[in-house]
């Protein structure tokens, strides 16, 4: 696998103050530049920006069935190293995060086996964090 450059992702939030508290305090992402209507973060080495849009309302009923679970769509996140995923999941469990899908092993014993978890930010944006014990399996069929 080649070395990947950091990605940039910007998402809408309907309450900048609540979202800022969630990403800064709950998830402990390091804050970068900001303005009165946006904040950027170090998202595991990637540039993640929240932009205030007071009208933003994701569809809470949009999902796809994956491995027997209702996966919210759209969603975003990152693939973490195996140990980082489990440490992050444990910290979130200790904070009593309201998981949409609690941390578990998906596709167990099959190609692409992965640890995954889903939860939403205060604006209803769905986040997925995952990890592959074998990174050669990320795009396995």
Report yes or no on 131 lying in a domain. yes
Number of domains in the chain: 1
Q: At 30, which CATH number?
A: 3.10.180.10
Q: What are phi and psi of 18, to 5 degrees?
A: -65, -45
Question: Quick check: 72 and 99 in contact, CB under 8 A?
Answer: no
E runs forming strands in the chain: 8-13, 30-34, 38-43, 46-52, 63-66, 69-72, 75-79, 99-106, 114-120, 126-131
pLDDT band at 129 (very low <50, low <70, confident <90, very high): very high
User: Per-residue pLDDT tens for 23-62?
Assistant: 999 999 999 999 999 999 999 999 999 999 999 999 989 9
> What's the pLDDT at 2?
62
User: Is-above-0.85 flag for pTM?
Assistant: yes
Average pLDDT of the residues in 11-33: 98
Question: Quick check: 55 and 48 in contact, CB under 8 A?
Answer: no
Report yes or no on 57 lying in a domain. no
Q: CA 67 to CA 111: how far, in whole Å?
A: 13
> What's the pLDDT at 3?
75
Report yes or no on 105 lying in a domain. yes
Strand partners, 11: 50
Report yes or no on 22 lying in a domain. yes
Q: CA 127 to CA 90: how far, in whole Å?
A: 16
Q: What are phi and psi of 20, to 5 degrees?
A: -60, -45
Q: Of 96, 99, 60, 110, which Cα lies nearest the Cα of 77?
A: 99
Report yes or no on 33 lying in a domain. yes
Q: Domain of residue 111: give its range.
A: 8-51+63-137
């Amino acid at each position: 696998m080649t070395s990947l450059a950091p990605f940039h992702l910007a998402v809408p939030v309907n309450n900048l103050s609540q979202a800022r508290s969630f990403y800064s305090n709950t998830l402990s992402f390091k804050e970068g530049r900001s303005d009165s209507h946006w904040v950027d973060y170090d998202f595991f080495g990637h540039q993640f920006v929240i932009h205030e849009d007071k009208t933003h309302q994701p569809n809470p009923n949009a999902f796809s069935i994956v491995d027997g679970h209702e996966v919210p769509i759209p969603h975003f996140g990152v693939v973490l190293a195996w140990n980082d995923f489990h440490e992050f999941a444990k910290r979130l469990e200790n904070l009593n995060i309201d998981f949409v899908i609690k941390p578990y092993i998906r596709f167990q014993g099959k190609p692409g086996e992965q640890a995954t978890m889903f939860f939403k930010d205060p604006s209803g944006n769905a986040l997925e964090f995952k990890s592959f014990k074998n990174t050669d399996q990320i795009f396995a069929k």
